[in-house]
Structure 1
Amino acid sequence: MNDQVDGRELEKISVEVAREAAELALAVRDRVVGARSVADLPTKSSATDVVTAGDEECEALVRERLGVLRPGDVVLGEEGGADAEPEPGQVRWIVDPIDGTVNYAHGLPWFAVSLGVEVDGRPLAGAVVEPVSGRVWSAAAGCGAQLDGRTLRASALERPGLAVVSTGLAYDPARRRRQAALLARMAGEVGDFRRQGCASLDLCSVAAGWVDGYYEHGLNHWDWAAGALIAEEAGAVVRRPGAPGSEDPDGLGAEAVLAAAPGIAAGLADLLRAHGVAEV
């Protein structure tokens, strides 16, 4: 890793830029999204995977601001893809301009702007900003995680059977049915489930101890880049997806994201394996 890269400075920049994008997201929703039926919005991978003017305008703003503040860095964004492959030691920003777009388009408040920062594939800093509440989640590697400046700590729970677990469901209907079947098999094994529809906020909720664990398959890099670091820096055990085609040594599926309080992480992983999580 480039020793000249300051994670705390990148955390500060990620917060600054994400806040600006969060303000724009609300302005665009008031101007454009609320005036249209969700059925009229463009889609990507399926009929329920909507994309809005907010996604596009917010990512354009983030790219513009990073071009000024960090002109030597590269960007991978949900809407615009990768502008270049990073050189060794080069900073890469992982941008989800609006995580939880379906919530955003329906007027639900659970969506966020997520900016992660990596060097040579290693997470270095990140921020998740909620436009509606104004909450700011952030972290730098080795420096802990914060919510509005307050230090975050994951749950101290040690009994998986009492855990409140968050998860998500895929846009693809066939996969969503498999995931729902897994959830039904797991329902009697944990304390309760939550479904927010925003992966970055699910991960931040683990960091805050609001939920004890979170798992999901089929996420993209921008969905978890910032939130996974925030959860990890709050003391959670975090499992990120493997590289495409990589082996699955823990039996959770190569695409699995798992974040959990340290006292239940192994037990939750065991339950997921026992109920066929790798098959979803």
Structure 2
Amino acid sequence: MPPRSDHDLARDLAESAGALLLQVRGRDFGDAAARKAAGDAESHRFLLDRLRELCPGDAVLSEEGADDAARLGAERVWIVDPLDGTREFSELDRSDWAVHVALWERGRLAAGAVAVPAEGLTLNTGEATVVPEAVDGPIRLAVSRSRPPALVQDLAAGLGGELVPMGSAGVKAMAVVRGQADAYVHGGGQYEWDSAAPVAVASAAGMHTSRLDGSPLHYNQPDPWLPDLLICRPALADRLLAALAELPSAAAPSRPNHGGVHA
């Protein structure tokens, strides 16, 4: 059999980590915090072990791992979020959590996959994604279900748009690719692992991806903090960027302590 491509590997890793997380989720935990901790730890360990086995020369940047500055000199870096949306993962009736696996290579995102295990779905850069046609009506903005950021509320008010609440950052980004939303606008700050795989998949599907000022997104940086993000249908990019430029709330946020980021 021919060797797997990086696209296939990203997909397989995300799907396998997702299957593991479904098993973890099915265990009897004493509380939600224990379920979250187990999911984060076991998915991280699985992904790290598999990448060490299959790609021993590559570096890894994971939300759950210690950052190694050696990645800055590496040609290939896997950027992973072993469990995106721990809150939703801990609530057994919710499916809006994800696994992110992306490969950065020589200055660009080269491959990526976002698994939504509770839906049995994985979107990846190696398979053509048919994006549904835009629907008539107000612009639909994917937003946090628990704490909609003021930025997105202000944007929706200015554009006459509507908010579509959901969980993890990866699920929000994939909602644009799947035609469930028209844009994912985030101004509260994230880390590279929150958006690398979603941006890779959305870009491969033909979506616009950028910072809120329209500038490019850069990965494998010395500081993995990314202040803001826009993923949207290409036809909406100019309109959204112009509206964002008029909003004071679109100013880049200060960097919180690790773990204080809201998607």
TM-score (norm 2): 0.80
Q: Does 1:22 align with 2:8?
A: no
Q: Match for residue 266 of structure 1?
A: 238
Residue aligned with 1:72, SS: coil
Residue aligned with 1:66, SS: helix
Q: Match for residue 78 of structure 1?
A: 63
Aligned partners of 1:154 and 1:236 also within 8 Å: no
**Equivalent in 13, 21, 41 of residue 56 of structure 1:** 41
**Equivalent in 228, 250, 253 of residue 278 of structure 1:** 250
Give the partner amino acid of 1:190: G
Aligned pairs for 1:213-224 (under 5 A) are 213-217=183-187, 218-224=189-195
Q: Distance in 1 between matches of 2:145 and 2:63?
A: 18
Q: Distance in 1 between matches of 2:199 and 2:91?
A: 26
Any stretches of 5+ residues in structure 2 without a counterpart?
A: 212-216, 254-263
Any stretches of 5+ residues in structure 1 without a counterpart?
A: 1-5, 43-49, 171-175, 247-253
Deviation of the 1:275 alpha carbon: 2.8
Q: Percentage identity across aligned positions? A: 30
Give the partner amino acid of 2:142: S
Q: Distance in 2 between matches of 1:155 and 1:115?
A: 27
Aligned partners of 1:139 and 1:233 also within 8 Å: yes
Deviation of the 1:137 alpha carbon: 0.5
Q: Does 1:167 align with 2:125?
A: no
Aligned alpha-carbon RMSD (Å): 2.9
Residue aligned with 1:132, SS: helix
Tell me how many residue pairs correspond in the alignment.
239
Give the partner amino acid of 1:74: A
Give the partner amino acid of 2:209: V
Aligned pairs for 1:1-280 (under 5 A) are 9-32=5-28, 35-38=29-32, 41=33, 51-86=36-71, 88=73, 90-107=75-92, 108-140=94-126, 145-146=127-128, 151-153=129-131, 156=134, 162-168=138-144, 180-188=149-157, 189-217=159-187, 218-240=189-211, 241=217, 255-279=227-251
Q: 1:131-155, CA deviations, whole angstroms, 9 ceiling, x for partnerless residues?
A: 1111010005xxxx54xxxx33375
Q: Distance in 2 between matches of 1:81 and 1:245?
A: 13
Aligned partners of 1:154 and 1:231 also within 8 Å: no
TM-score (norm 1): 0.75
Q: Distance in 2 between matches of 1:51 and 1:273?
A: 37
Q: Distance in 1 between matches of 2:118 and 2:30?
A: 20
Deviation of the 1:86 alpha carbon: 2.7
Deviation of the 1:88 alpha carbon: 4.9
Deviation of the 1:186 alpha carbon: 3.0
Deviation of the 1:235 alpha carbon: 1.2
Deviation of the 1:258 alpha carbon: 0.1
